[in-house]
Structure 1
């Protein structure tokens, strides 16, 4: 009887501990990727009006999984911070995700993903358009609406497999990063 009572008490303690741990983890965002995403963000983030959990997760996806910097920042790394030459990684924060990388010999150039000064939208796209780009490679910038071309360099077939929440998180993160002019000589922060 005593053993049964001790076993039952131990079971209740385990259940209570698991419940407290789960509640605490949920209150903290429940996802270590969120905190890591904030640690990885190479630029200051403007969080006003944004969902912190989505921003943190989006940063994690963009900076730890997606490799977005490799194509959408030109050059990808600051002087002396190229990990491919043995240096400690330093992302080029001044041009972070502002596009401009040419994929020679093709005519394709990566797009500016930073939010537009005029509307705050990443790459000037609504969330619905962004998801369409990520899922289907739709190119809203080139071509008439009834004959929209498909992005050729962007690995949208891979990113299109992400969940709606993951794509929303990327979009929310891109809304939090600073607007950067498209070209190195440009002073316009509108992606043009």
Structure 2
């Protein structure tokens, strides 16, 4: 049973303001409508790019390419088997389907006619050249923290380092009234950072260590880790956009069926027992001695973004994450206990969950629950095993999964699916045994929870086959 801490999620998730928009539409009226249409002022910047073909432009494009990697732009703006950045990726949401846009420099269907200020308004402020507000599937509340220098480099890259592709943007399939744009402007003005923020970006002066300051900039800005790993309010904005709020990166969102994990200092379900090198190894190779990345959202983050970042930046991210204290909502504990291992080694299987584990899981994860380092992660003390919501574990047992193949660790070891072999009750008993063995102390799993995930997987399978 391979477990999956998710540092970030692919932006294919439902856009964060769906239900908020429903509420805002219901609350509409002249006052709110007028507020949404108020002029939006943004900082005007007119950078002069180096001359075409110059070494200076080549260096700026190289810098911009790296910024695009840290922002994981490829993951959303490239469809399966599509050309880079040509858009067309379908994002399923509760109210319909969004399609990502073409951000190549094609002048007819892409962003080739964007001025720098057009580009800046879209990326950092969520505003199109026509004045419409982007759906917050585009994480502009986080990108608003990008520096002017990085924005200049990013613009140079997309205009000079990306091949133009003529590909019209597919229409979104969102019914009226949710297709109206003005509620999006109201959501943006209420919950996103002010477009006139000066200076933009992270307040790095509050971090005394420059390494931690760099990590904060990457996590809060381009990496937009909080988009998945920070809980959301009832109006679906992130409860905190930086470490000034105790809920920042505390986990809890379910993205594409996977639980975005707690990245704070909790010893059980967070990163409290991880070292800086554990975090670096996970971001670079998708595995460490504690856990392995399994599941679509984090697969793509590692393969398309973090494995290509510099070791210095990965260490900065890890150092910053290690500064975050434990959250106050921990519901699980881990106190190493050899009793489970002794029982299983001696042939004692105290319940049906233990029987299922020995029959299906022990060959890879061992009767002592310690697994095999950097291949099959341990069960004992695993942060995902101890997560308050067992969604990832249930999904993994039912659907299986595999490690991503990375440059340094090309083997894509995996775990088979057990949906056809195990009943809902058996899966629930197995995971309850796993979450309460070897010193793990986490809530039980109910058959109804397994049934719900099984139903979601079946619906997703049906939708993919249409």
TM-score, scaled to structure 2: 0.23
Corresponding residue to 2:62 among 51, 56, 63 = 56
Q: Does 1:67 align with 2:72?
A: yes
* Higher strand proportion: 2
Partner of 1:98: 86
Provide the alpha-carbon RMSD of the alignment. Answer: 2.8
Residue aligned with 2:90, SS: coil
Q: Give 2:99's aligned residue.
A: 109
Q: Deviations over 1:23-49 (max 9, x none)?
A: xxxxxxxxxxxxxxxxxxxxxxxx636
Contact 1:111 1:123 in 2 (8 A): no
* Greater relative CO (CA pairs within 8 A, separation 6+): 1
Residue of structure 2 in register with 1:130 after alignment: 119
Deviations 1:119-170 (CA, angstroms, capped at 9, x unpaired): xx835321101101112101336xxx4xx23332101111110111101111
Unmatched segments (≥5 aa) in structure 1? 1-46, 79-93, 185-192
| 1:51 Cα deviation after fit | 1.2
Q: Deviations over 1:61-82 (max 9, x none)?
A: 112x11111000111xx6xxxx
Task: Classify the secondary structure of the residue corresponding to 1:152.
Answer: coil
Of structures 1 and 2, the larger Rg is shown by 2
Task: Give the whole-Å Cα distance in 1 for the aligned partners of 2:113 and 2:148.
Answer: 19
Equivalents in 1 of 2:134, 2:165: separation in Å? 25
The question of whether the paired residues in 1 share the 8 Å contact of 2:107 and 2:113 is answered with no
Describe how 1:173-192 pairs up with structure 2 within 5 A: 173-176=157-160, 177-182=162-167
Structure 2 residue aligned with 1:167: 151
Tell me, in whole angstroms, the C-alpha distance in 1 between the residues paired with 2:136 and 2:90.
13
Contact residue 102 and residue 168 of structure 2 kept, 8 A: no
Q: 1:158 aligns with which of 130, 133, 142?
A: 142
Aligned positions of 1:30-49 closer than 5 A: 48=53
In structure 2, distance between residues paired with 1:169 and 1:60: 9
- SS of the counterpart of 1:95? coil
Is there any run of 5+ residues in structure 2 with no aligned partner, and where? 1-51, 170-466
2:302 aligned residue: none
Q: Compared with structure 1, are the counterparts of its residues 183 and 116 closer, same or farther at alpha carbon in structure 2 (3 Å cutoff)?
A: closer
